[in-house]
Amino acid sequence: MIELKNISKDFVGQNGIKSNIIKSISASIQKSKITSFYAPHGSGPSYLLKIISGLEIQTEGSVLNPNSEKIIYIPTEPSSFPWYNVFDNVKLGIVNYDLKSVEKMIKLAGLEGYESFHPHNKSYGFRFRIALARSLAQSPGLILMDDPFKLMDNKTKSEMYSLIIDINRTKGTTFCLASSNLDETLMLSDKIFLMSNEPSEIIYKTEVDLPAKRDLSIKKSDEYISVKTKIITEIKKFDVE
Amino acid sequence: MKEKQPLKNKLILFVTLLFVYIALFEFILPINKVIPKPTLFFESLENIWNEYGLVYALTLSGSVVYLSILCAYIHLYLGVAGYLKFLTRIEGSLSMLRAFIFLTPLFFVLLFNYWFPQNILGEFVFAFIVSSFWMLHELLNESKRVKEEYILVGKNLNLTPTEILEKIYWNSAQPELFEKIKKINYSLWLLILMYEFVGNSHGVGQVYRTAYSYNDFTALYALAIVTAIIIWLGDFMIAQIKRKFIHWNA
């Protein structure tokens, strides 16, 4: 489990004025679960993910990673390197890589047979699969996804949701998502943290008690509508617009 | 069908211009100091190869231009991390070098001719330094435009700073670097022609000088056409290499 304790992030602009992007965030990311930080607007969740991965340094607070697990960050776009083919993208950063293990991750991400293909001119879904395979090849304790479906069409989004849920349920990989789309947050998450406008702070959290296997038909279920309504009520209550 | 139309139009324009040229300068204005008589021009186009030794000259000048570009590219590929680290460190002082842009290229041509008179190796060193400088300048500019996401992913994958420069910065700069190489092809030919003309060293520039000293008006025209075709072929080859190997937009 990775724990966030009182994380705050300040920025000092060129005019010398200090602005607070993230304010006192405490949360826990449970192992083998999908946790989401959802905010309808603003860059709070994205900054938070960068802080968790160590790519940004927080002004206050700490990220507790007791087992020193590897944390992998997937940006929105570009998520893969266009000059490398699928295989080279996936093995990037692995010292003494094991061929079979890389091939296994490529297969897991649904890219078998595409090893020599380049991501350039391919769909966002294809590129995301590469980023996902690359992340899995690192044997991560946590995969952070920074609004990764934003540019995809609905059909691809739906395929990616299934892929992530499948990997999570079968391999027990822990995922953490930053998103500005409530439906995708609900489709994927086991736990949701609703964040306010800047300075971003957690204003509401909820467990998502939906069946483990989810597809688009779940949107019509009573449970789904109930959780969604609760979150929308909280958004209105805190005026998160 | 639509794609063939511009080609057809170009062909019609070319044939029309050729007809006008032949009609005007073969029959109406055969003696003038502007454009040579067509029969003389076509004769000269054939003669420059034997009488002026253009094959040998083109081999020398072409080798200097393209070998220097190739060597500059390889040397930058091998030293990209070191160069970018060094240049980023002294970036503040680099603005002082801007003063050099007011020096004309002729000055450097004369300087190298003074140091290495009629020396092919000196000419190559000159071309290599010029190509490396232009490519390095482009690389430095492109290094400021590398997408933040690439760098974040690189850092997140625990790539070392050197690996990030070699695997991300270098590759990210390739599309623009190849566009720059196309421009270098043209500019370097101009400099090398100038170099050989001024220093009377072996090469196409020397052929120009000889034709000029003989007042061979038609040969100058024929040389200009041949040189233009060679530069265009170089440009075409670089574009093909880019198309084949640099297929991405960073």
Chain A residues with CB under 8 Å of B147 CB are: 78
For chain B, the maximum distance between any two Cα atoms, rounded to a whole number of angstroms, is 75
Q: Which residue has 């500059």 as its token pair?
A: B72
Q: Does B159 contact A93 at a Cβ distance shorter than 8 Å?
A: yes
**Looking at this predicted complex, what is its ipTM?**
0.90
pLDDT score for A198 = 79
Q: How many alpha carbons fall within 13 Å on the CB side of residue A81?
A: 28
Go through B232-246 and write b for each residue having 16 or more CB atoms within 10 A of its CB, e for each that does not.
eebbeebeeebeeeb
Q: What is the rounded distance in angstroms from the CA atom of residue B176 to the CA atom of residue A222?
A: 54
pLDDT score for B88 = 84
Residues of chain A with pLDDT under 50: none
Q: What is the rounded distance in angstroms from the CA atom of residue A46 to the CA atom of residue A37?
A: 9
Instruction: Kindly tell me the sign of the dihedral angle through the C-alpha atoms of A115, A120, A126, A132.
Output: positive
pLDDT score for A64 = 94
> Does B34 score more than 90 pLDDT?
no
Neighbours of A107 (CB within 10 A): 13
Q: Does B171 contact A72 at a Cβ distance shorter than 8 Å?
A: no
- CA gyration radius, chain B: 23
B207-236 mean pLDDT:
95
From B153, B168, B249, residue closest to A75, measured CB to CB: B153
> Does B173 score more than 90 pLDDT?
yes
Q: Does A120 contact B249 at a Cβ distance shorter than 8 Å?
A: yes
Measured torsion, CA atoms of residues B6, B7, B11, B12, in degrees rounded to the nearest 10:
-30
Rounded to the nearest integer, the mean pLDDT of chain B is 91
Chain A residues with CB under 8 Å of B158 CB are: 93
According to DSSP, the residues that pair with A205 across neighbouring strands are A193
Query: B131-141, pLDDT tens digit by residue?
Result: 999 999 999 99
> Does B1 score more than 70 pLDDT?
no
Phi then psi dihedrals of residue B16, to 5 deg: -65, -50
Stretch (H or E) spanning A177: strand A175-179
B84: tokens are 């970018």
Q: What is the rounded distance in angstroms from the CA atom of residue B40 to the CA atom of residue B46?
A: 10
Instruction: Please state the domain extents for chain A.
Output: 1-25+35-68, 77-177
B21-33 mean pLDDT:
82
> Does B2 score more than 60 pLDDT?
no
pLDDT score for B181 = 97
pLDDT score for B89 = 84
Residue B100 banded pLDDT, cuts 50, 70, 90: confident
From A82, A93, A138, residue closest to B248, measured CB to CB: A82
C-alpha distance from A193 to closest chain B C-alpha (Å): 24
> Does B3 score more than 70 pLDDT?
no
Q: What is the rounded distance in angstroms from the CA atom of residue A77 to the CA atom of residue A240?
A: 26
Q: What is the rounded distance in angstroms from the CA atom of residue B82 to the CA atom of residue B215?
A: 51
Strand order in the sheet with A142-146: A71-74, A142-146, A175-179, A34-38, A191-195, A202-207
> Does B165 score more than 60 pLDDT?
yes
Stretch (H or E) spanning A175: strand A175-179
Residue (of A124, A122, A135, A134) closest to A77 by Cα position: A124
Lowest model confidence (mean pLDDT) among B18-27, B78-87, B112-121, B210-219:
B18-27
Lowest model confidence (mean pLDDT) among A163-177, A200-214, B76-90, B227-241:
A200-214
B204: tokens are 């196409």
pLDDT score for A236 = 84
pLDDT score for B239 = 96
The highest-level CATH class for domain A77-177 is alpha beta
Q: Does A120 contact B152 at a Cβ distance shorter than 8 Å?
A: no
Q: Does A81 contact B171 at a Cβ distance shorter than 8 Å?
A: yes
Q: Does B156 contact A82 at a Cβ distance shorter than 8 Å?
A: no
B31: tokens are 């003696």
Chain B residues with CB under 8 Å of A73 CB are: 152-153, 156
pLDDT score for A241 = 56
Helix (H, G, I), strand (E, B) or coil at A215: coil
Phi then psi dihedrals of residue B14, to 5 deg: -60, -50
